[in-house]
Amino acid sequence: MTHDTMSESTLPIEPQIFTRKSLKLVSWNVEGLNSPIKRKKVLQYLKKLDPDIIFLQETHWTSPNQSLRAPWIGFQTSSVHTQKSRGTTILLHKRLPYSDLLEINDPEGRYTFLALTVGQEPLQLLNIYAPNSPNLTFFKSLLPLLHLHDSSRRIVGGDFNEVPDPILDRAPSRTMARGRAQHTGPTFLRSHFDLDDVWRSHHPMGRDFTFYSDPHKSFSRLDLFLVSSLLSNRALRTDIGPITVTDHAHITLEIILETPVPYSRNWHFPSHLMTSGLFTSHVELAWNN
């Protein structure tokens, strides 16, 4: 009895290397992560969304030792506060090839800053949870941070606790003059760093919202991604999800990478070989020998 020699391509034994052409980001106000049940729900939801980078606000963590744990999380850095009402974190998926990390976390639990290189592309990430009071003090305090690195690839995301446009971004709409919007935090950052409200650019007259206030019976678009024009021009899509698990909807942003980055997947046994007579005969021969 003779056995034909199997080609190397029939039975791959090395992990395959893939390239990723885009970067997917998610931002979400999770309204507290101290409950094990809540953490489980949030992790399940995030895994389903499958982002590369995650911004979370209102973790309500009071210790830097607190964190989310899941096999797919490769890196996380967080700001915490003594009061269980703040806290921000940035998570990176383990498949993401990154280097040159610089992390800065606000001792007041209002922001997490991360500078890194993805593949060959330097990025500057800032995740914020702005105060409720509509004033510019907090946003002005971010200027030195954003000036640390002269970056044409900035992504500022999170819960701004203000709407960019009182007419389009709130329901019922506010009748105040649009000129008031010139004094909001989003407008302040946009003007200082040439940032684009990418969701609004993709939906010029769209009316979709990320938060519902039951006391005021109103909807607002408080959660935003503001990105540099260089990245905004490469935005594939940006969406607002449903309000579920927490009182805020998540938002997503997908950006085309300047250079596709390689990543490896875990190797899985090619199940089709189990129906291959040639393969099974080789296994039997090896087993008998």
Question: Rounded distance, CA 251 to CA 275, Å?
Answer: 44
Q: What percent of the chain has pLDDT over 70?
A: 81
What pLDDT score does 219 carry? 95
Q: pLDDT (tens digit, 9 = 90+) per residue, 225-236?
A: 999 999 999 999
Q: Report d(CA 287, CA 275) in Å as an integer.
A: 18
> Active-site residues: which are they?
129, 159, 248
Residue 201 located in a structural domain: yes
Band of residue 269 on the pLDDT scale cut at 50, 70, 90: very low
Q: Could you tell me which residues are annotated as the binding site?
A: 29, 58, 159, 161, 247-248
Q: Using alpha carbons only, what angle is made at residue 91 by residues 188 and 266, rounded to the nearest 5 degrees?
A: 140
- Binding residues for Mg(2+), by number, are 29, 58, 159, 161, 247-248
Confirm whether 273 is domain-assigned. no
| Per-residue confidence (pLDDT) for residue 50, from 0 to 100 | 97
Query: Average of pLDDT values for 219-228?
Result: 98
Q: For the purposes of burial, counting CB atoms within 10 Å of the CB of 90, is it exposed (0-12), middle (13-18) or buried (19 or more)?
A: buried
Give 154-178 pLDDT, tens digit per residue.
999 999 999 999 999 999 976 654 5
Q: What is the pLDDT of residue 6?
A: 42
Round to whole Å and give the CA distance between 180 and 91.
35
Check: CB of residue 153 under 8 Å from CB of residue 145.
no
Please write the tens of the pLDDT for every residue from 185-208: 999 999 999 999 999 999 999 999
Domains identified in the chain, total number: 1
CATH code of 75's domain: 3.60.10.10
Question: Which phi and psi (to 5°) does residue 220 adopt?
Answer: -145, 150
pLDDT of 283: 60
Is 81 a residue whose pLDDT tops 80?
Answer: yes
- Please, which pLDDT band fits residue 216 given cuts at 50, 70 and 90? confident
- 270 inside domain: no
Q: Which domain holds residue 182?
A: 17-264
- Token pair recorded at residue 271: 């199940």
The CA distances from residue 114 to 11, 105, 231, 249, in Å, are: 42, 9, 17, 23
* Structural domain contains residue 249: yes
178 assigned to some structural domain? yes
Report yes or no on 236 lying in a domain.
yes
* 286 part of a folded domain: no
* Residue 246: inside a domain: yes
